[in-house]
Amino acid sequence: MVEQEKKIAYLGPEASFTYIATKGLFPDNQLMPMTTIPECIDAVVEGKVEYAVVPLENALEGIVPLTIDYLFHEVNLYVVAEILEKIQQHLMVNKSQVHNWQHVEEIYSHPHALAQCHKYLFYRFSGIPLRQISSTSAAAKLVAESPERCIAAIGNASSAEKYGLEIVEKNIHDFHFNHTRFFVLSRHNTRLPVEKAEVNPKTTIMFTLPSDESGTLHQVLSVLAWRKLNLSKIESRPLKTGLGHYFFIADVLADENDVMMKGAFEELNSIGVTVKSLGTYYTHLTPEG
Amino acid sequence: MVEQEKKIAYLGPEASFTYIATKGLFPDNQLMPMTTIPECIDAVVEGKVEYAVVPLENALEGIVPLTIDYLFHEVNLYVVAEILEKIQQHLMVNKSQVHNWQHVEEIYSHPHALAQCHKYLFYRFSGIPLRQISSTSAAAKLVAESPERCIAAIGNASSAEKYGLEIVEKNIHDFHFNHTRFFVLSRHNTRLPVEKAEVNPKTTIMFTLPSDESGTLHQVLSVLAWRKLNLSKIESRPLKTGLGHYFFIADVLADENDVMMKGAFEELNSIGVTVKSLGTYYTHLTPEG
């Protein structure tokens, strides 16, 4: 789908949830793991890679502030696709400990993953120490390197595979509708063709209001509402100029080139709303792993 | 102002920014530091304390998701006052190292405080290792306990005083309009009388929309807008029932007992919006420290 020689940056490490999302959309490209979200985004800006994949929001944790703030304050990039991935957590142990896993002495994972399996851990492993570590992938690596210890990691199937661990209990996460949404970013305002897509394109806009006058947000929504331009999401983030000053990020279920969208942009500009489109894009669904 | 025998829980440790905010409003009460935000809130619910003070949002970092989610999902409390505190960060060293502070070898603080002083540290102490620690107060404690080491902490004046450190450079934070906003929570829907208050009361509401139909948010804002009920803030948070499902928290610059507010609540209920008032309250400004 995408030319094979093009490189893709993603929030690493390898076998992270972002890795799985990226691999699903770019199966044949060279994937480059980055340590932080800004590093990932800067790699696109500097032309080191063609696209970057970064997490935007999770159904339980909410938005990833760093991604949104960096897109608003620091760079000028476009969204060329979004990826929706179902988050599944499994309990895994070293192959030398499979016979013994019910007596596990410590469980390692990222704090979010531990939180996502809170009920399972409470009912099944009450009293067993839970150890926080920088990523689910790092937890799997630690368990792989400690064959003599009866410890477990929580993470995805990809990290079990990468580090040769055995999954002893599948789908131990509490909420079974948990998804993470990722943006695919580019320097160019194009659209990636995606398979398994939802049919309707989506446009992400960012805007700031002309004054603190709160009625303006209502005015913005009115401009969109009478045109039946539906919002699937709206969030506010601090402008960093003082409490009570925000910028907004919203998803509109329409194409930025539609007549109605162009009319809305013109009207918003005319009432002093600074609005910027990050582009129109399609949704890729990561198959269950 | 508040009866002296009443106990107040706050997000500790002692000398934290929450401590300063709490001490400003409750100078004569027994203040009880708690380790986490849920612990703080639960102390009110269980009647161990009369009020709890927790951070709600910061002008740079945005909302504190844990506070908002816990108030929505877990408990049934009221906001009886809010506190606005100016966030000031200072560089401090052990008194035995005052002559030597320009050659400091390591700087300790909470990750947010280090981030808030990013430019100062970059231009003044480029290359000096920055060490992350659980709180600004813990950083000050470490420096106090290491008189032989030439290290510094970043934190507020209160922690310098508590641990007997010398402030060698004041106000090193990059943004000089940085405030944090705190909620004072109670089991009862009352209003704390506060000195130095803004005159107009504010009401915080939480609401959920009847369906995914995005026009409903516009409808909610219309119900408020034609009544000139101004919003000073609106945020969305995931409902934890799947991506795209949110609840909202908004501040209305009006009294919940006003005729217009009662009319708005009735209309919102009639269109299927589940709305809950957390109460009407006044703003306390913490004097600069």
| pLDDT value of residue B7 | 97
Q: Examine the pLDDT at B196 and tell me if it is beyond 70.
A: no
Number of residue pairs across A and B with CB atoms under 8 Å? 95
What's domain B7-86+179-285's architecture?
3-Layer(aba) Sandwich (3.40)
The residue of chain B with its CA nearest to that of A85 is: B243
Task: Please tell me the CATH superfamily of domain A1-86+178-188, with its number.
Answer: Periplasmic binding protein-like II (3.40.190.10)
* Interchain contact, B177 vs A242, CB within 8 Å: yes
B135 vs B282, which has greater pLDDT?
A: B282
Please answer whether residues A150 and A68 qualify as being in contact, where contact means their C-beta atoms are separated by less than 8 angstroms: no
Phi and psi at A92, nearest 5°, equal: -135, 145
Asked if domains B7-86+179-285 and B90-169 share a fold, the reply is yes
Nearest-by-Cβ selection for B217 from A84, A221, A237: A221
Q: Residue A219 in contact with residue A271, Cβ under 8 Å?
A: yes
pLDDT digits (tens, 9 = 90+) for A126-163: 889 998 888 899 899 999 999 999 999 999 999 999 99
Residue-wise pLDDT tens digits, A9-22: 999 888 889 999 99
* B262/A247 Cα distance (integer angstroms): 30
Find the chain A residues whose C-beta atoms sit closer than 8 A to any C-beta of B: 57-62, 65, 84, 175, 177, 179, 181, 212-215, 217-218, 221-222, 224-225, 228, 230-238, 240-246, 253
Which CA distances in Å does A110 have to A107, A113, B55? 10, 5, 24
Q: What is the mean pLDDT of residues B116-125?
A: 91
Is pLDDT of B242 > 90?
no
What residues does each domain of chain B span? 7-86+179-285, 90-169
Are A11 and A67 in contact by the 8 Å Cβ rule? The answer is no
Q: What pLDDT does A104 receive?
A: 96
The answer, yes or no, to whether residue B238 has pLDDT greater than 70, is yes
pLDDT of residue B288: 64
Residues B86-106 pLDDT 10s:
999 999 999 999 999 999 999
Query: B197 falls in which pLDDT band (50, 70, 90)?
Result: low
What per-residue confidence (pLDDT) applies to B159? 94
User: For the segment B125-140, what is each residue's pLDDT rounded down to a tens digit?
Assistant: 988 999 888 889 989 9
What CATH number was assigned to the domain covering residues A198-289?
Answer: 3.30.70.260
Residue B38, preceding peptide bond in cis (omega within 30° of 0): no
Our CA-based measurement puts residue B252 at a distance from the nearest CA of chain A, in whole angstroms, of: 10
ipTM: 0.79
- What is the pLDDT, as a whole number, of residue A147? 96
Q: What is the pLDDT of residue A174?
A: 87
Which pLDDT value is given to residue B34? 93
Mutation target to probe the A interface, by most A beta carbons within 10 A, among B63, B175, B214, B252 is B214
Q: Give the model confidence (pLDDT) of A227-286 as tens digits.
A: 999 888 888 899 888 887 889 999 999 999 999 999 999 999 999 999 999 999 999 998
Cα separation of B208 and A218, whole Å?
Answer: 17
Asked if A79 contacts A185 with a C-beta cutoff of 8 angstroms, the reply is: yes
Report chain A residues whose CB lies below 8 A from the CB of B84.
Answer: 243
Q: Is the pLDDT assigned to residue A289 strictly greater than 60?
A: no
CATH of domain B90-169: 3.40.190.10
Gap from A164 CA to chain B (nearest CA, Å): 32
